[in-house]
Amino acid sequence: MNTTPLHAPMALTPEQAAIRAGAEGPVMARCMETLVRYGEAFGAPRLVPIRSAHLTGSFKIFFYTAYYKLVSELVEAGIKVKVPTTLNPRPGYDYRPQNRILFRSQSWHEEQLEALGVTPNYSCVCYAYDNIPEFGDRLGWAESSAIIYANSVIGARSNRNAIMIDICHAVTGLAPEFGFLLDENRKADLHIRLQIERMDAAALGFLIGKIAMDRTPVLDYWPFTPAELKNMGAAMASTGGVTLFHVAGLTPEAPDLEAVTGGRPIETHTITQADLDALKASRQMQKESAVIAFGCPQMTLEEALEVGRHFAGRTLKKPVLFHLVPGAYDAFIETETGQACLDAGIEVLQHCPLAALSLRIGIGKQQVLTPSGKLHYYLEGAKYADMADILELTGAVA
């Protein structure tokens, strides 16, 4: 195999070079080597310290063999993460006999990760509870929905890293300096004009991802809420490879269009109300759905309260699932709104809807209706509807 770097070799500090040479054992040497090769492939000149890591490898359901092996070797070597490190959601519960087999090794995997010192937050919305970065922080995160939020809404800096790379970030506390860690790669190169009367942020993100692909869009000003920014970014990072977006006059690196484009002319694309409405499943398809799933990414407390208040005192016309950040679960069910949701029959859950629904109903079953652009994209067969349609369909509003 030709191992010649595509770019100039990275300049390592003596300490980094020693780890690469095996000073902290063979498994740490492999993690450092992985980061060096990753960085060199993208032309990174050096490794830089990171504020935190976030791992996407929270599932143990017969995939990612090399990752589980690496985690085991790190645990056996007594390695701990060097920076605060959080973890993606659990894949569900052992509802069924066959899930019991899967979840026995899930428990084993969770014990391994916790032995590394990982915070057992089990949430893709780490940035709102257990791993809150600040403007300008450099991060070594995986999980595209978390990365795009941290980059765009907080102004922290992470590349769109993958499983395996994320754990290497966590145990070294370092990331190669390239891509979205650098000022010059954070300007917008696509202008999204909005001709919209009724905002549907998840649908907008879904459409922008397909248009932008791996570019950085800047949207016209709209007074998006944090939950809308979360759901829009997650959809954008699903249908496209978008890692950073700006909203002129709202997000921290976009005081105005001029500043975020650097004054350069950029391509413009207009999204209209008709474009958003076209993403919705037909009324007939909506009626045929078996279950409504909220929370991909998981719902924050504020979001669950905002959606949940519509269900107080209502009788559900369709089964409804809320997927909450585990850190918000207790607080939610202790509220009047949370109790009202439980009384109405809503299942309030704390895991990954994508994995759990795949395990519960199988892939490709057209049973799920969701206002999540991300779940609509990834859960094969899931249909999309906006919040207004869903609230009407479930009986939350007349």
Partner 1 sequence: MSESEAPFCLVSRRVSEGAARPGLVYRDKPFARDDSGWRIFAGDEEGAFLANPDNTHLVRLEALSALHPDLEPLLAARTGSAFERDQEGRWRDVSEEGQADWERAGKRARKVDNHR
Interface residues toward partner 1, by CB under 8 A: 60, 62, 65, 68, 94-101, 104-109, 111, 290-291, 319, 347, 360-363, 365, 367
Alpha-carbon distance 123 to 325, whole Å? 6
- Whole-number minimum distance, CB 88 to partner 1, in Å? 18
Closest approach of partner 1 to the CB of residue 393, in Å: 14
* DSSP string for residues in 76-89: HTT---SS-EEEPP
Check residue 221 and give left, alpha or beta (phi > 0: left; psi -120 to 50: alpha): beta
Q: Given the complex with partner 1, which of 237 and 357 has the nearer CB atom?
A: 357
Q: Do 7 and 38 contact (CB within 8 A), yes or no?
A: no
Which C-beta is closer to partner 1: that of 291 or that of 312?
291
Q: Smaller CB distance to partner 1: residue 7 or 104?
A: 104
Please, which residue, 44 or 292, has the CB nearer to partner 1? 292
Min CB(69)–partner 1 separation in Å: 9
Residue 75 Cβ vs partner 1, minimum distance, rounded to whole Å: 11
Rounded to the nearest whole angstrom, what is the least distance from the CB of residue 116 to partner 1 in the complex? Answer: 15
Helix axes 326-333, 336-344, angle to 10 degrees: 90
For 251, phi and psi rounded to 5 degrees?
-85, 155
Residue type, 291: V
Alpha helices in the chain (DSSP H): 14-21, 26-41, 65-76, 97-115, 144-149, 165-172, 201-212, 226-239, 257-261, 273-278, 283-288, 301-308, 326-333, 336-344, 353-361, 373-378, 387-393
CB nearer to partner 1: pick between 60 and 230: 60
- CB-based contact 125:92 (threshold 8 Å): no
Cα distance between residue 78 and residue 62, in whole Å: 25
Provide CB contacts within 8 A for 394, sequence distance 6+. Answer: 292, 311, 314, 316, 317, 318, 320
Residues 6+ apart with CB under 8 A from 254: 188, 218, 246, 247, 248, 260
Minimum distance from CB of 114 to partner 1 (Å)?
Answer: 13
Closer residue to partner 1, CB minimum distance, 153 or 341: 341
**Closer residue to partner 1 in complex, CB, 56/106:** 106
Q: Which is nearer to partner 1, 111 or 267 (CB)?
A: 111
Between 62 and 135, name the residue whose CB sits nearer to partner 1.
Answer: 62
* Cβ 101 to partner 1 shortest distance, Å: 6
Note the Cα 13 to chain centre separation in Å: 32
For the CB of residue 254, give the shortest distance to partner 1 in the complex, in Å. Answer: 43
- The least CB distance from residue 245 to partner 1, in Å, is 35
Is-cis flag, bond preceding 97, omega within 30?
A: no
173 phi/psi in degrees, rounded to 5: 70, 20
Nearer to partner 1, 148 or 293 (CB): 293
Kindly state the smallest distance separating residue 109's Cβ from partner 1, in Å.
Answer: 6
Burial class for 100, CB neighbours closer than 10 Å (0-12, 13-18, 19+): exposed
